[in-house]
Structure 1
Amino acid sequence: MIELAGLTKRYGEKVAVDDLTFTVRPGIVTGFLGPNGAGKSTTMRMILGLDHPTAGDVRIDGRHYHELTNPLTYIGALLDAKAVHGGRTARNHLLCLAQSNGIPARRVREVLETVGLTAVARKKAKGFSLGMSQRLGIAGALLGDPRILMFDEPVNGLDPEGIHWIRGLMKSLAAEGRTVFVSSHLMSEMALTADHLVVIGQGRLLADTSMADFVADNAHARVRIRTPDRERLLDALHEAGITAVEAGGGVLEVEGGDSERIGELAARHQVVLHELSVRQSSLEEAFMRLTAEAVEYHAHSAPPAGPWGADGDTTTSRTVAQAVARTTAEG
């Protein structure tokens, strides 16, 4: 179990983590979500004692990280897949970790097999792809057979088979009664993996709830309708005080999930329906709605106006083009 109480971290005037209080419980996969800059990585670093909190407290099974003897046997973590000595082989990297934490050498062979790296155990880590590095980092987290596991963006660089594998691994670890805490920006993957969600924005707690309750509380349901009698249905809906909007492709959508009422209304007016279905918002849509005010970095769909302009034909662009042409000719 991981327990945070009023955890706060400041860097000068910047508040990276602001009074976080929540508990990561065993037996379930807890997803840790937030926009870029929300404080997720800083929080995970404080859990592991890599950063010291400005205020508050964080405990692992009732103790601070620095109080743990052989900490890899209590909590295993993957925070940065490339944080490995590139000159060491995969086997030697894990062997060093094992020896420093009183872990039998046989565990190195076992975890390499678990993550699928047995064939490259004697290859140096500097030649590993990101996906292979992720697998090596996961092997390091599993090395001490800990009761608590923490992963930051564990599917980065993994192919579809690898993503399917890590999803199953996290679920199986939780099913064994372990505490599994995972951060990811891939909402579709988190929706398939996590049972519980902790969501933060600008360092503050926004939600601490089950996956089902999070989507129900922050998402919207829409009734999707297709009909050859579009105008008749629109008139019937208007008379009933129901607003339908165009959704493209001849589809109408009505906010809310009252498909039964719409179906009965269509039947009374003898309107033929080709489709009547309820579409629930995704985890991504629910997340975007909840965190809209907490996003620190906003991108724009169109490039900002500047010296290059929309068509690139400005004084600056012509000057650069002429300079390049002169350089080419002189060369």
Structure 2
Amino acid sequence: MIEASGLTKRYGDRLAVDQLTFAVRPGQVTGFLGPNGAGKSTTMRMILGLDAPTAGTVTIDGKPLAAMAHPMREVGALLDAKAIHGGRSAYHHLLCLAQTNNLPKGRVAEVLELVGLSEVARKRSKGFSLGMGQRLGIAAALLGDPKVLMFDEPVNGLDPEGILWIRNLMKGLAGEGRTVFVSSHLMSEMENTADHLIVIGQGRLISDCTVQEFIDRNSALKVRVRTNDPAKLAELAGSAGGRAEPGEGGALLVSGLDLTRIGDLAFDNGIRIHELSPLQASLEQAFMELTKDSVEFHATVPMAQGASRDGKVEAGS
């Protein structure tokens, strides 16, 4: 388990991480989310002892990484897949790590097979694609067969098959009772992979809950309704405290009312219902809603020539 208590990091006048307290528990995949500049990489570096906290503590299974006699047997991490000597082959890169960390030589071939790099094991890593580099970094993280694994953007550069592979790998590792901590900007992938989420913004903890709890807390329930009289149902929904807006295929999207209330309104007023189904918000939608005030950089969408900011085409264009 990873435990942070009051974890803080200041760089001069900038507070990168502010009083973070959380726990990453074994047996589940924990996603670590936040906008750019939120402090995710700094936090992961402090967990690994690469940066010293200004205040607070962080431990792995009750002790800091620096106090471990054989750290690669306890913790495996992928923070930067490019941190490889390009002149070395994949095999010799891993062999060097194994020898300097007192790990058995035979483990090198095992992890190369596991990540699918056996056929290119003797090739220099400088010729590797981004996806191959990611696989090699994951192999290095797994080399010591550790109980705790940390991955920063592990699916970068991977093709769909590779993404499915790393997803199943992380779930399998968690299923073995290991602690798996994953930072990613790919919300769809986190929705498919993570069991629990830790979300930070501007260095502060803003959510610590399961994926489903996160979505439920940070998105409004909408109900898709298809009916023979959408105008009348929309009026009734508004009178009952809800809000109806047009959806695809002539359907209504109703918010502020649950399915039972909408069904009762339709029945009591003689309106026939053809479809009544809840719309599940995505993790991405919930994340954007929660972190909208924590985004460090805001970009504007470029407009087509002749278009005004409200999307209409200006006269004379």
- Shorter-chain TM range is over 0.9
Which piece of structure 1 moves more, 88-97 or 208-217?
208-217
Q: Cα 1:257–1:172, aligned 2, differ >3 Å: closer, same or farther?
A: farther
Other-structure match for 2:185: 185
Which piece of structure 1 moves more, 229-238 or 114-123?
229-238
Q: Cα 1:67–1:252, aligned 2, differ >3 Å: closer, same or farther?
A: same
1:7–1:21 CA contact under 8 A, matched in 2? yes
Report the AA paired with residue 142 of structure 1: L
Q: Cα 1:239–1:37, aligned 2, differ >3 Å: closer, same or farther?
A: closer
Other-structure match for 2:57: 57
1:75 and 2:75 matched? yes
RMSD: 1.6
1:31–1:190 CA contact under 8 A, matched in 2? yes
2:76–2:150 CA contact under 8 A, matched in 1? yes
Structure ID, larger Rg:
1
Other-structure match for 1:116: 116
| Secondary structure of 1:44's aligned partner | helix
Q: How far did residue 281 of structure 1 move?
A: 1.3
1:301 and 2:301 matched? yes
Q: Distance in 1 between matches of 2:235 and 2:56?
A: 59
1:25-70 CA distances to partner (integer Å, 9 max, x unpaired)?
1111111000000000011111111111111111111221111122
| Secondary structure of 1:8's aligned partner | strand
Q: How far did residue 230 of structure 1 move?
A: 2.2
Other-structure match for 2:310: none
1:68-126 CA distances to partner (integer Å, 9 max, x unpaired)?
12211110000011110000000000000000110000000000000000000001110
Q: Cα 1:6–1:238, aligned 2, differ >3 Å: closer, same or farther?
A: closer
Gap regions ≥5 residues in structure 2: 307-317
1:261 and 2:249 matched? no
Q: What pairs up with 1:71-150 in 2 under 5 angstroms?
A: 71-150=71-150
Q: Distance in 2 between matches of 1:17 and 1:90?
A: 35
Q: How far did residue 257 of structure 1 move?
A: 5.4
1:257–1:278 CA contact under 8 A, matched in 2? no
Q: Distance in 2 between matches of 1:256 and 1:236?
A: 12
Q: How far did residue 310 of structure 1 move?
A: 5.6
Other-structure match for 1:11: 11
Q: How far did residue 12 of structure 1 move?
A: 0.8
**Deviating runs (4+, > 6 A) in structure 1?**
none
1:183-216 CA distances to partner (integer Å, 9 max, x unpaired)?
0111111011111111000001111112222122
Q: Distance in 2 between matches of 1:106 and 1:287?
A: 43
Q: Cα 1:12–1:94, aligned 2, differ >3 Å: closer, same or farther?
A: same
Report the AA paired with residue 274 of structure 1: H
- Using the size of structure 2 for normalisation, the TM-score is 0.92
Q: Cα 1:36–1:238, aligned 2, differ >3 Å: closer, same or farther?
A: closer
1:218–1:289 CA contact under 8 A, matched in 2? yes
Q: How far did residue 237 of structure 1 move?
A: 3.1
Other-structure match for 2:211: 211
Q: Cα 1:289–1:241, aligned 2, differ >3 Å: closer, same or farther?
A: closer
Aligned residues: 306
Q: Cα 1:125–1:63, aligned 2, differ >3 Å: closer, same or farther?
A: same
| Secondary structure of 2:243's aligned partner | coil
| Secondary structure of 1:226's aligned partner | strand
1:238-259 CA distances to partner (integer Å, 9 max, x unpaired)?
4544331223542211114511
Other-structure match for 1:316: none
1:233-281 CA distances to partner (integer Å, 9 max, x unpaired)?
2344345443312235422111145112212322333323332211021
Which piece of structure 1 moves more, 66-75 or 195-204?
66-75
Q: Distance in 1 between matches of 2:6 and 2:200?
A: 14
Q: Distance in 2 between matches of 1:80 and 1:74?
A: 19
Gap regions ≥5 residues in structure 1: 304-308, 312-331
Which piece of structure 1 moves more, 236-245 or 202-211?
236-245
| Secondary structure of 2:293's aligned partner | helix
Report the AA paired with residue 87 of structure 1: G
1:170–1:180 CA contact under 8 A, matched in 2? yes
Q: Cα 1:238–1:142, aligned 2, differ >3 Å: closer, same or farther?
A: closer
Report the AA paired with residue 184 of structure 2: S
2:242–2:256 CA contact under 8 A, matched in 1? no
